[in-house]
Amino acid sequence: MSPSEPGTAYVLKMYPRFSETFIVAEILAREAAGDRIEIFSLLPTNDARFHPELARVQAPVTYIDRPIKTIALWEALQLADEAGLTAAIGRNFAELAAATADEAVQAINLATALQGRNLRHMHVHFASGATTVARLASFITGIPFSFTAHAVDIFHESVRDDDLRLKLEQAHHAVTISQYNLRYLRRRFPGSTSRLHLVRNGLELEHFPYREPRPLGPTLRIAAIGRLVEKKGFQHLLPAAAELLDQGVKLDLRIAGTGLMADELEASIDQLRLGEHVRLLGPQTQDQVHELLDSADVFVAPCVVGADGNADGMPTVLLEAMATGVPCVSTSVTGIPEVVRNGSTGVLVRPGNPHALARGIRTLGSPATDRVALSRNARAVIEEDYDVHRQAELLRSLSRSERSAA
């Protein structure tokens, strides 16, 4: 795509990030639809794991400096002056001064980096620091910005109402990933959400072929995947596994991921005497995740709302499991009931309840359950609502409305 074609800047806190496959899928879908994308990352990646899909991304990546020394700050201001931005910085100095030093300087550096690239719009994922930087850069450059609100940037106790309200009001538009989030934000900010839209995270479905669930064997193979943190709920899955074993269910539970709760979960496995039945696999590549899903009879996403208010918006791996035909159990947290519809596309249980989790897993391991019907229904919902190409077209139409109005 020629730079003569107007492009879209994706402003991200860190790129690439192993856990944010939905962003890569979205960029690939927009590029496939003809959009010219450039990526601006506020931090260099600290993740040694990379998805093969990254090699397909055509967008160039620019890393935005965050000066540590005074001389670097001075050089940033000189470059902004050379780009003709001094007057705009002066006009918006009050906004810059109200931000943190890092955000203000990165906004100036981003504004400078955007010059001469024929970029007409900025889009950001997560309504946190990266959106602050894009908002300030928008003041300086006049390039409109939009953002996708997910979960931690909405529900965490650190989120400030005045900050989120300001972003909703000043963005060209904002999107969020579930009807639950949409209703929540409209209730919380009734006067600031007239340009808030629903655009779900999507999958490249061509990379997630469906297969019917295999007949159950003597051992129920259970998979769970995610960071080992409170909101993922694995601390409730372990006692559920113990309950199933006490009831005579033979099971093999494998949990993939790494995180702060790894030691606590290992201790629980020992305490509950689950060592022969439960394995913590640690971090896995995308191919290993696909293999784990392919081998599973049941996938469990036991999500909860954390003590700090943090919650999952929509676990991407849950969508992947449903897309590929693995019968799923999950919990009624945020937008999950929009995809896991109890008795239709999976089994939905109360969060934080090991007994309910055990009952849900037992249901999917029962010969009386029509696992094939559940899986077919789940795939149909994923195809209808979570196809990344459809979601990317929604994003494109929202940014095009700005261009036609300009």
pLDDT band at 53 (very low <50, low <70, confident <90, very high): confident
Judgement on whether residues 182 and 289 belong to the same structural domain of the protein = no
Judgement on whether residues 186 and 224 belong to the same structural domain of the protein = no
How many other C-beta atoms can be found within 10 angstroms of the C-beta atom of residue 5? 11
Judgement on whether residues 127 and 210 belong to the same structural domain of the protein = no
Question: Quick one: which of 290, 297, 384 has its CA closest to 338?
Answer: 384
Q: Tally the domains of the chain.
A: 2
CA atoms of 329 and 222, how far apart (whole Å): 10
Q: What is the DSSP letter of 227?
A: -
User: Is the distance from CB of 381 to CB of 19 less than 8 angstroms?
Assistant: no
pLDDT band at 105 (very low <50, low <70, confident <90, very high): very high
- Across 92-106, average pLDDT: 93
The pLDDT score that the predictor gives to residue 266 is 98
Judgement on whether residues 28 and 52 belong to the same structural domain of the protein = yes
265-312 pLDDT, tens digit per residue, is: 999 999 999 999 999 999 998 899 999 999 999 999 999 999 999 999
Looking at the predicted structure, is the pLDDT value of residue 264 above 90? yes
The pLDDT score that the predictor gives to residue 88 is 95
The pLDDT score that the predictor gives to residue 3 is 67
Residue 2 lies in a domain: no
Distance of CA 55 to the CA centre of its chain: 20
218-249 pLDDT, tens digit per residue, is: 999 999 999 999 999 999 999 999 999 999 99
Judgement on whether residues 239 and 355 belong to the same structural domain of the protein = yes
Judgement on whether residues 396 and 351 belong to the same structural domain of the protein = no
Predicted structure pTM score: 0.93
Cis-peptide, bond into residue 44, ω within 30° of zero:
no
Q: Which of 15-29, 80-94, 96-110, 343-357 has the highest mean pLDDT?
A: 343-357
CA atoms of 372 and 354, how far apart (whole Å): 25
The pLDDT score that the predictor gives to residue 51 is 72
- List the domain range (segments joined by +) for residue 126: 7-202+387-405
Judgement on whether residues 230 and 107 belong to the same structural domain of the protein = no
Element (H, E) at 310: none
CA atoms of 150 and 299, how far apart (whole Å): 23
Where b means 16+ CB within 10 Å and e means fewer, 58-73 reads ebeebbbbbbeeeeeb
Judgement on whether residues 178 and 247 belong to the same structural domain of the protein = no
The pLDDT score that the predictor gives to residue 49 is 66
Question: Quick one: which of 375, 74, 41, 400 has its CA closest to 212?
Answer: 375
Q: What is the DSSP letter of 129?
A: H
Judgement on whether residues 151 and 299 belong to the same structural domain of the protein = no
The pLDDT score that the predictor gives to residue 48 is 67
Residue 338 lies in a domain: yes
331-373 pLDDT, tens digit per residue, is: 999 999 999 999 999 999 999 999 999 999 999 999 999 999 9
Backbone angles phi, psi at 125, to 5 degrees: -105, 130
Residue 27 lies in a domain: yes
Tell me the CATH number at 249.
Answer: 3.40.50.2000
Residue 1 lies in a domain: no
